[in-house]
Structure 1
Amino acid sequence: MTTLDELPIRDDLRGKRPYGAPQLDVPYALNTNENPYPPSEALVKAIGEAAAGVAGSLNRYPDRDAVALRADLAAFLDSDTPGLGLDVDRVWAANGSNEVLQQILQAFGGPGRTALGFEPSYSMHPIITGVSGTRWVNAARDDDFGVDPGAAAAAIAEHRPDVVFLTSPNNPTGTALDPAVLAAVLDAAPGMVVVDEAYAEFRRAGTPSALTLLDGHPRLIVTRTMSKAFAMAGTRLGYLAADPAVIEALLLVRLPYHLSAVTQAVARTALAHGAELLGTVDALRRERDGLVAWLRGEGLDVADSDANFVLFGRFPDRRRVWQGLLDRGVLIREVGPPAWLRVSVGTPEEMNAFRTALKETLS
């Protein structure tokens, strides 16, 4: 059989590995930051009816630009952050936030251009950057996983990136972005500034969203997803808010009919039931805060978290700890800086299983 090395793939792809967390059949999967609460029977029925409603017209292409869905997303963002005044011309949607990021780089990155981020952060940022032919520059974070405003501005002045990635709350650390950092980056960046807010709904009270800065910053893009707080990871729906000119730029690179009729129908149904789906967020926040306190009580280092996961350590051999948990039926993520591990926040039952397995592993 032909091997990958024998194919004429791009040289910059040789030696690369596909992105992805381990997919293992375990009693407690706490490694992909999903919302652990499935949709109710009533919502399952509504989603089924929505899919059936478009099934009879699947011989036709869907709404090419998902106008009705984008209008619903704009209304949701307006309700989540009052005063935005968003409309369909300032919102875009695609197959998960990763396709949103890919389209941004296709429009504003590419050969001869540079994207800059602050690692450790979402590992798909440099991956998608590289696949788009854009050069990646890492401006490292502080020891506490924060970003210094002055250092950020200096890095931008040095590299003059076409795209800057910020993440709040940051994955895998869970830390929220200091507003002073965003202000410094917006002031210094010559190109586009992307704030990845995939976990924004989980942020603690008083933590601002970059959405409030859209007016007056036409090169600011704020990305969101329905995969996390909305408990719709299987729907694959990501979206962004930005200036109308940004949406026009993305239309130049989006594939025609990129969002299926079924995806649009399911996502709109989920938004219509948003109060139910987001009703678990407060419980997950409490579970997260309790987990942070417990881990610190066990003598471990823990990063402050505004997300639905917690980064904890430090371990001389984190692989041994990861494997010890897996041997006890608990799958977490070996990701981020060396000596640290990340666990998703689950149900009380799942968190109890994690605590028990961790205590046994460390003892």
Structure 2
Amino acid sequence: MTQLDDLPIRDDLRGLSPYGAPQQPVRVAINVNENPYHVPEVVAHRIVEAIARELPGLNRYPDREFTALREKLASYLGHDLTPDQLWAANGSNEIMQQLLQVFAGPGRRVLSFSPSYSMYPLLTRGVGSEFVTASRDDRFAVTPELAREAIEREQPDVTILCTPNNPTGTGMSLETIEAAYAATTGVLIVDEAYAEFRHDGEPSALELLPGRERLVVSRTMSKAFAFAGVRVGYFAAAPVVADAVRLVRLPYHLSALTQAAAGAALDCADVMLGQVEAIRVQRDRIVEEVTALGYAPYPSEANFVLIGGVDDPRAIFEGMLERDILIRDVGLPGTVRVSAGTEEETSAFLAALAELSRPATA
């Protein structure tokens, strides 16, 4: 049987593994930072109605400029944004891919701060660019000094800052983002996929957009909007950035059904985001209760917690799986990552962790 290496694939892709997290039918799945709540019934009905209106016209291509959706995204984000500053795609990964296709590519460099989202290097290699990393501090933060020094040293064409950061949950100050922007002549992408889960009062990089035409703020509807199965990501930037992305986007890349579903969800944003506070409560509960068990969780601004002080992450992962609970071993020594679930899911996880943490009896 032909193996992957037998095919004439690009040399720089040989030996790589595709991105993927375990997908298993378990009682409690808290491994991929999904929103644990279903789309509210009242919103589901609105979405169904919106999709139904599109069905008779599916013989025609959709609005390739997704005008109505961009208007709704601008209204949702506020910050005096206009529709021509918004762009959307099939998930924030496609958003990132489109941006890298335009601003990275062969002979160019992409910088991020490790550890961070594991798709960044895969997307970078996919467009033929070199991926370089700089270190965070011992609490996984990036200070203005760290950002400035790394950018001046590496001279990247694209810099990606993830805040709140995946997989650590760490936030980032506007001062750090400003320092990064000032230090580069390239494009600065701020990935705010988990922005809605931040503690009250934490600012968004959207505040920095005026006057910074090389700054892009990426968001997603997968997390806070409980829309992971629909695949809608988007960014806000200067209008010229959206013009640049048009050079590489596939024709009619957002289906009429995707546009309809996302628009209906945005019309019900208050309802869709109604469970965000409940998720934040469970996140903070995880931090508090795993600390009491003797672990060392990192502060989180996202909908998950990176738990440190784990002697054997693989044993914890396997022990949870035996109890029908799926968590994430992200490969950072001494840690596991846990998404904030419903109150019942969080209780099940904490009870299982307490059981796994007890010393074996003689």
TM-score range, shorter chain: over 0.9
SS in 1 for 2:229: helix
1:153 — aligned with what?
A: 148
SS in 1 for 2:114: coil
Shift of 1:341: 0.6
Number of positions where the alignment pairs a residue of Structure 1 with one of Structure 2? 358
Q: How does 1:144-223 map to 2 (within 5 A)?
A: 144-223=139-218
Shift of 1:97: 0.2
1:6 — aligned with what?
A: 6
Which whole-Å deviations, capped at 9, do the CAs of 1:155-198 have from their partners, x for residues lacking one?
A: 11111101000011000000100222112101101100000000
Q: For structure 1, which segment, 105-114 or 183-192, has the greater mean C-alpha deviation from structure 2 after superposition?
A: 183-192
Q: How does 1:129-140 map to 2 (within 5 A)?
A: 129-140=124-135
What is the CA–CA distance in structure 2 between the aligned matches of 1:46 and 1:183, rounded to whole Å? 40
1:81 — aligned with what?
A: none
Shift of 1:286: 1.3
1:88 — aligned with what?
A: 83
What is the CA–CA distance in structure 2 between the aligned matches of 1:57 and 1:2, rounded to whole Å? 43
Residue 77 in 1 paired to residue 77 in 2? yes
Q: How does 1:263-278 map to 2 (within 5 A)?
A: 263-278=258-273
Shift of 1:32: 0.9
Amino acid at match of 2:34: E
2:65 — aligned with what?
A: 65
What is the CA–CA distance in structure 2 between the aligned matches of 1:301 and 1:272, rounded to whole Å? 40
Gaps of 5+ in 1: 79-83
What is the CA–CA distance in structure 2 between the aligned matches of 1:211 and 1:148, rounded to whole Å? 19
SS in 1 for 2:57: coil
CA contact (8 A) 2:159 2:187 kept: yes
1:42 — aligned with what?
A: 42
2:33 — aligned with what?
A: 33
Shift of 1:288: 1.1
Of all paired residues, the percent bearing the same amino acid is 54
What is the CA–CA distance in structure 1 between the aligned matches of 2:115 and 2:165, rounded to whole Å? 9
Q: For structure 1, which segment, 327-336 or 230-239, has the greater mean C-alpha deviation from structure 2 after superposition?
A: 327-336
Q: How does 1:259-338 map to 2 (within 5 A)?
A: 259-338=254-333
Shift of 1:37: 0.9
CA contact (8 A) 2:293 2:357 kept: no
Q: How does 1:234-249 map to 2 (within 5 A)?
A: 234-249=229-244
Amino acid at match of 2:9: I
What is the CA–CA distance in structure 1 between the aligned matches of 2:10 and 2:65, rounded to whole Å? 31
Q: For structure 1, which segment, 32-41 or 105-114, has the greater mean C-alpha deviation from structure 2 after superposition?
A: 32-41
Shift of 1:337: 1.8
CA contact (8 A) 1:120 1:336 kept: no
Amino acid at match of 1:75: S
What is the CA–CA distance in structure 1 between the aligned matches of 2:258 and 2:62, rounded to whole Å? 10
CA contact (8 A) 2:279 2:303 kept: yes
What is the CA–CA distance in structure 2 between the aligned matches of 1:355 and 1:196, rounded to whole Å? 30
SS in 1 for 2:262: helix
Residue 110 in 1 paired to residue 105 in 2? yes
1:55 — aligned with what?
A: 55
Shift of 1:50: 1.3
Which whole-Å deviations, capped at 9, do the CAs of 1:245-293 have from their partners, x for residues lacking one?
A: 1111001110110000000000001001111110111111111111111
Shift of 1:336: 4.8
Amino acid at match of 2:319: G
Amino acid at match of 1:63: D
Shift of 1:53: 1.0
Q: How does 1:120-135 map to 2 (within 5 A)?
A: 120-135=115-130
What is the CA–CA distance in structure 2 between the aligned matches of 1:353 and 1:181, rounded to whole Å? 38
1:142 — aligned with what?
A: 137
SS in 1 for 2:189: strand
SS in 1 for 2:222: coil
**Alignment RMSD (CA, Å):** 0.9
CA contact (8 A) 1:96 1:237 kept: yes
SS in 1 for 2:302: coil
Q: What's the TM-score once normalised by structure 1's chain length?
A: 0.97
Shift of 1:63: 0.5
Gaps of 5+ in 2: none
Which whole-Å deviations, capped at 9, do the CAs of 1:32-75 have from their partners, x for residues lacking one?
A: 11111101222222211111111111110000121111111001
